[in-house]
Chains A and B, each alone.
Chain A
């Protein structure tokens, strides 16, 4: 939670700098953020490759739980497709691109800014931060009403890192592996889905 607030703080600081042109000569800023993004993706890959436990743990998982990432992706996209009806000025592919960030706000917002401009990129950032906050705050309630898989699904790509501690607490230790597996798969699919819908 505190981590998310710090991140929002940096974003707001960036907006202030941008509005008042506090840093001169940032015309090729797109490049800077793109290079940062590449470094970020490299680092995430590095961490996955660096953890040899992660693959061993997956082997012990019940087959049915392996469907959860798929449910998350299908459910999210279906929900976002419906919003297109409420937002006539946004195309279906734009809504799906924002939705397929699945809580991975840093990556999805930068990708969407690259493809669709800063306006939709900002929507993606806010929408996916809100989704993470919903997970962090609402996990216990979701467990009670919809079962332990619901908050993991809502957590989307964040369930193997930022929301994992909360989910462990809300769903119980048995679901840690499910949560990590889910986060791993969804995390991996975000760059592909976002790029796919943004290019449509």
Chain B
């Protein structure tokens, strides 16, 4: 990543419109290979139902946690801004 930032900074005078496309294609390739890896693993296929449930649980928990934290920060910011005005 550091190498990428450095390279991007050095070449910042030029614009790279095709970068977004390349990024998407790479993400596709990555997910495809990931799928192959998961598909070749019988344990994953058998457990797909359980894995899906775990995934759902974790994403809901993570979402709820971050909502709570962001809500708290928003209340603090609102109170401070209200105080200044």
Q: Is the CB of A18 within 8 A of B39?
A: yes
Q: Is the interface of B mostly helix, strand, loop or mixed?
A: helix
Q: Is the CB of B36 within 8 A of A14?
A: yes
B64 to chain A, nearest CB (A): 5
Q: Give 1 or 0 for each of A1-17: 1 = CB within 8 Å of chain B CB.
A: 00100110011111111
List A contacts of B28 (CB < 8 A): 6-7, 10
Contact A17:B70 (CB < 8 A) given known A43-B19, A52-B12, A79-B63: no
Contact A72:B70 (CB < 8 A) given known A14-B31, A33-B30: yes
Q: With the chains together, A158 CA to B79 CA distance in Å?
A: 28
Size bracket, chain A contacts: 35 or more
What is the chain B residue whose CB lies nearest that of A18? B39
Question: Which of the residues B2, B37, B45, B66 comes within 8 Å of A113, measured between beta carbons?
Answer: B37
Q: Is the CB of A83 within 8 A of B38?
A: no
What is the chain A residue whose CB lies nearest that of B19? A47
Give 16 new A-B contacts, CB below 8 A, not counting A47-B23, A68-B73, A149-B71: A7-B27, A13-B35, A14-B35, A19-B40, A49-B5, A49-B7, A51-B8, A79-B65, A80-B58, A82-B61, A83-B58, A87-B54, A98-B55, A99-B62, A134-B63, A148-B74
